[in-house]
Structure 1
């Protein structure tokens, strides 16, 4: 069901590890080719393109691309009370964690009369993507919206794929989560076309849309499949993005002390997202590897989405990786740069502090990825495909800009004038120095 990669006895550099570790065969580069014409179509035809693409790709032609207010309030009113209680608890925890992320402004006096202040300014408008299709993700609504709200963003728009069973609107639980968070600008638009709508805006084409269906945003965030990831890559620079959050990944670094049943359940939990989901176990224990493989065989057939799980576990993106020891295992997971990294070993907390590349790290047997997916308080929108080497998980920082405010007195500038002139002349930019010297003539 899941293949093995044996790295024991091999001293591989990071570049060599990158060549042997499991990855999906279909990557973002290939998806870019399919997504490019979609973005061009939305950019040129606006709402008309969105309806045509929804019909072709989602199998439904929405009457309303923007969700009517009544549909939002009705969805919240009909939400199962237990689900509502769970969402409210998730909101409380995620809000507490993200409120603490907001950086403080500070002023530095570098010399008498010379002050540089650091300000943090939220962007004006954001587009928040919530995936749909194989599963329903009200939790992704929470992760996107709460982070943006705590950053102080004044304008929030959410997009999620239209559903046949919902009359071309997003899933009712998605709508209920939006209503619970006070978001009233919601679109039944999915995939790459939603990213394009956010990046370039979309003019209305039918009376219910008005002249403008959706105004452009400053930042697009949220998870999605490989096509959403490709679209975000293509519009980056037109708008900001959080990270390339494609098909989900879990890597588990475990030793002989780990419970094979826990490890197997956690690998399955992420495999049920998507046939392209990656589940990777890294261990120095051949005994644990065998026990986990046996538990997978027992558990997969009884899980609801067994066919999807089996496809994900059997794909090239999943594997059991055997290593000599935890030191080599640490090098392997660092090279892999997993979206979710679980550490189930002796001294797990100490090992976690040494990890340099992971979207989020889950320490010990009682911190499964499922906890982070819903109610840990952390954000589950995380970098995938190795982009954890240079990207962070979603947080308030994704919606904030750093602005430096410089304020010098006459005396403070005069003290530096000769030095500024000297450096400006050395760079052959004499007008820079003259702009300073001229103030004292």
Structure 2
């Protein structure tokens, strides 16, 4: 892991939009699913996942859920239930209420908040299975009041049809009853446009491969999406009080996700920089996913030495990381100065996996520097809002002339006349009654 100064470190990272070949592949898959439905869905499942299914086998039956519970450890069920309680409690605090406000002139203004009707959740099943992502997508949608939540996840490859049992148990514990064994761009297209077996949804959430990300971008507009997620990122801002073993472990906790994951230490301590560099090398040697983490550290990892923590904060805000850990003597003193970060972890015991799995805040967080303008998944992602306007006669008579003035300045005479006809009619009625 190289040690560099802030001046020598390139803060820019190219956003992953896929190669022309990948984009063309995704467009073809989406188009085929849209035109052919189940036939294309089954064909691509056989071609890409090397799994042959019939339409009747797409939906996961109740018996498979029961078998999944028998296949996982009781300790996992206990842990997933505890995590679900914490996640639900956190997201319950985000709920919004509809509101209405009567004006003195008799008008009523307000906002009606309703849940989306049907949401699709994608759960990856490639390099690793993520039961925690099931909870992080499903529970906020449930808290928002979404009545229909459907989950899709890839089948077992190389001829099998069994889904990772930990994903199935997490989904069942979260309350999902509609699940399908289908993955990749073909699953996103099926959720967006529907097939004979899968009804279309209003929104698609959840991370996945580059093909999943490109497919979500392709169908956006027909449905809503949460985001186009990039590789995982962590930045640790630390001073000489930080434990180098903790810092190295936390950097590697993200590096092991993907060869393109980014793990960066920002510190004002040259001593800590060298100690963490040595710790990363030592811990890498015994990490089961060593090859993945080593490639990540080599390509996208760095230790940035700054002159002060103040300069370090500037670097952090420019990076706008997905995950930020602050390991300094007084972490709370700096939290308010962080402008761009998806999730902020304060102190030596707030390791990033605490947020990934258990604490309660959502772990689906903006990547690729998009924390500059976007937020973690929350209850707001699963609601829609309608404005409510009831204008009284008094209000229209009082404000109609101003409305007409604005409409005519925009060259929209029809708009102006829609108001003028009412002013003329109501004014005449008042004159006759006077």
Superposition TM-score, scaled by structure 2 size = 0.91
Contact 2:153 2:180 in 1 (8 A): yes
Change (3 A) 1:122 1:240: same
Write out per-residue CA displacement over residues 32-74 of structure 1, whole angstroms, 9 at most, x where no aligned residue.
3442222223222322322332333333233522212221233
- Are 1:35 and 2:39 counterparts? no
SS in 2 for 1:354: coil
CA spacing shift, 1:111–1:355, aligned 2, 3 Å: farther
From the CA coordinates, give the structure whose radius of gyration is larger.
2
> How far apart, CA to CA, are the structure 2 residues paired with 1:330 and 1:369?
19
Query: Could you list the per-position Cα deviations for residues 180-233 of structure 1 after superposition, in whole angstroms to 9, with x for gaps in the alignment?
Result: 22212111112222211111112xxxxxxxxx1111111111122333222222
Q: Alpha carbons of 1:337 and 1:36: their partners in 2 closer, same or farther (altered >3 Å)?
A: farther
Match of 1:13 in 2: none
CA RMSD of aligned residues (A): 2.0
2:153 aligned to which of 147, 160, 175: 160
Match of 2:119 among 126, 133, 153: 126
Match of 2:286 in 1: 302
Q: Secondary structure in 1 aligned to 2:58?
A: coil
- 1:131/1:190 contact within 8 Å kept: yes
| 2:51 corresponds to | 60
Q: Distance in 1 between matches of 2:271 and 2:151?
A: 47
User: What is the aligned partner in structure 1 of residue 13 from structure 2?
Assistant: 23
4+ runs of 1 displaced by more than 6 Å? none
Match for residue 106 of structure 2 among 109, 113, 119: 113
1:282 match: secondary structure: strand
1:76–1:177 CA contact under 8 A, matched in 2: no
Contact kept? 1:66, 1:187, Cα under 8 Å: yes
What's the secondary structure of 2:215's corresponding residue?
Answer: helix
Query: Cα offset for 1:322?
Result: 2.2
Deviation of residue 283 (structure 1)? 1.6
Deviation of 1:165 after TM superposition, in Å, equals 8.1
CA distance in 2, matches of 1:72, 1:165: 21
CA deviations over 1:94-149 (Å, ceiling 9, x no partner)? 00111111112222345421221112111111110111122221111111110110
C-alpha distance in 1 between matches for 2:319 and 2:48: 32
Please give the alpha-carbon distance, in whole angstroms, between the structure 1 residues aligned to 2:200 and 2:322: 29
In 2, Cα distance between equivalents of 1:34 and 1:352? 44
Query: Paired residue for 1:259, among 228, 243, 262?
Result: 243
Give unpaired runs (5+ residues) of structure 1: 11-16, 203-211
Q: Is the CA contact (8 Å cut-off) linking 1:252 and 1:263 kept in structure 2?
A: yes
* Aligned equivalent of 1:206: none
- Asked if structure 2 preserves the Cα contact closer than 8 Å seen for 1:280 and 1:318, the reply is yes
- In structure 2, runs of 5+ residues without a counterpart are 426-434
